[in-house]
Structure 1
Amino acid sequence: MPAPHRPRVLIGISGWTYAPWRGDFYPAGLAHRKELEYASEHVTSIEINGTFYAMQKPSSFTKWREETPDEFVFSIKGGRYVTHIKRLVGVESALANFFATGVLTLGDKLGPFLWQLPPNLEFDAQKVADFCALLPRTVTAAVTLAQSRDDKLAEDRVLLPDASARPLRHCVEARHASFASDDAVELLRRNDVAFVVADTAGKYPYVETATADFMYARLHGDQELYASGYTDAALDRWAEKIADWTSTGRDVYVYFDNDVKGYAPSDAMKLIERVGR
Structure 2
Amino acid sequence: MWTHTPWQGRFLPHPLPPGERLRAYATWCNAVEGNTTFYATPAKSTVESWAGQTGPEFRFVLKLPKPITHERRLSGADDQLRSFLETVEPLGPRTHALWIQLPGSFGPADLGALAGFLRGLPRSHRYAVEVRHRAFFDDPRAAGLLERVLAGVGAEWIPFDTVTLFESPPTSDAERDAWTKKPRVPRRSSALTDRPIIRYLGRDSVERTVEGWRHWVDVAAGWLREGRSPTVFVHTPDNADALMLARRFHDEVRALLPELEPLPEPMSAEPESSELTLF
Tell whether the structures are fold-level matches, with TM greater than 0.5.
Answer: yes
Whether 2:126 is the aligned partner of 1:169: answer yes
Identity %: 29
Contact 1:194–1:210 (CA<8 Å) still a contact in 2?
A: yes
Match of 1:186 in 2: 148
Give the 5 Å matches for 1:215-226: 215-221=196-202, 224=203
Match of 1:109 in 2: 94
Q: Which amino acid aligns with 2:135?
A: S
Give the 5 Å matches for 1:56-205: 56-101=42-87, 103-123=88-108, 124-138=110-124, 168-180=125-137, 181-201=143-163, 203-205=184-186
Contact 2:29–2:247 (CA<8 Å) still a contact in 1?
A: yes
Q: For CA contacts below 8 A with separation 6 or more, give which structure has more relative contact order.
A: 1
Q: Which amino acid aligns with 1:245?
A: W
Whether 2:244 is the aligned partner of 1:244: answer no
Q: 1:32 to 1:259 in 2, by over 3 A?
A: farther
Displacement of 1:249 in angstroms is 2.3
Considering only CA atoms, is the larger Rg found in Structure 1 or Structure 2?
2
Contact 2:6–2:240 (CA<8 Å) still a contact in 1?
A: yes
- With normalisation by structure 1, the TM-score equals 0.75
- Please list every run of at least 4 consecutive aligned residues from structure 1 whose deviation after the TM superposition is greater than 6 angstroms: none
Contact 1:132–1:191 (CA<8 Å) still a contact in 2?
A: yes
RMSD: 2.1
Match of 1:9 in 2: none
Farther off after superposition, 176-185 or 35-44: 176-185
Contact 1:218–1:254 (CA<8 Å) still a contact in 2?
A: yes
Displacement of 1:228 in angstroms is 5.4
Match of residue 244, structure 2, among 244, 247, 266: 266
Q: Helix, strand or coil for the counterpart of 1:251?
A: coil
Q: Give the Cα–Cα distance (whole angstroms) in 2 for the partners of residues 65 and 259 of structure 1.
A: 28
Q: Helix, strand or coil for the counterpart of 1:75?
A: strand
- With normalisation by structure 2, the TM-score equals 0.74
After superposition, the C-alpha distances for 1:8-55 in whole angstroms (9 at most, x for unaligned) are: xxxxxxx2222222233334x332523211110011111222211101
Contact 1:172–1:196 (CA<8 Å) still a contact in 2?
A: yes
Q: Helix, strand or coil for the counterpart of 1:96?
A: helix
Instruction: List gaps (5 residues or longer) in structure 1.
Output: 1-14, 139-167
Q: Give the Cα–Cα distance (whole angstroms) in 2 for the partners of residues 185 and 273 of structure 1.
A: 31
Match of 1:208 in 2: 189
Farther off after superposition, 255-264 or 181-190: 255-264
Q: Give the Cα–Cα distance (whole angstroms) in 1 for the partners of residues 218 and 238 of structure 2.
A: 26
Q: Give the Cα–Cα distance (whole angstroms) in 2 for the partners of residues 112 and 52 of structure 1.
A: 14
Instruction: List gaps (5 residues or longer) in structure 2.
Output: 138-142, 167-183, 255-259, 263-279
Q: Aligned pair count?
A: 228
Farther off after superposition, 259-268 or 56-65: 259-268
After superposition, the C-alpha distances for 1:142-196 in whole angstroms (9 at most, x for unaligned) are: xxxxxxxxxxxxxxxxxxxxxxxxxx21000111112222222222122211010
Q: 1:89 to 1:205 in 2, by over 3 A?
A: farther
Q: Give the Cα–Cα distance (whole angstroms) in 1 for the partners of residues 8 and 237 of structure 2.
A: 12
Q: Give the Cα–Cα distance (whole angstroms) in 1 for the partners of residues 235 and 89 of structure 2.
A: 24
Q: Give the Cα–Cα distance (whole angstroms) in 2 for the partners of residues 132 and 205 of structure 1.
A: 25
Match of 1:145 in 2: none
Displacement of 1:207 in angstroms is 2.5
Q: Which amino acid aligns with 1:45?
A: A
Q: Give the Cα–Cα distance (whole angstroms) in 1 for the partners of residues 103 and 148 of structure 2.
A: 20
Q: Helix, strand or coil for the counterpart of 1:214?
A: coil
Q: 1:19 to 1:264 in 2, by over 3 A?
A: same
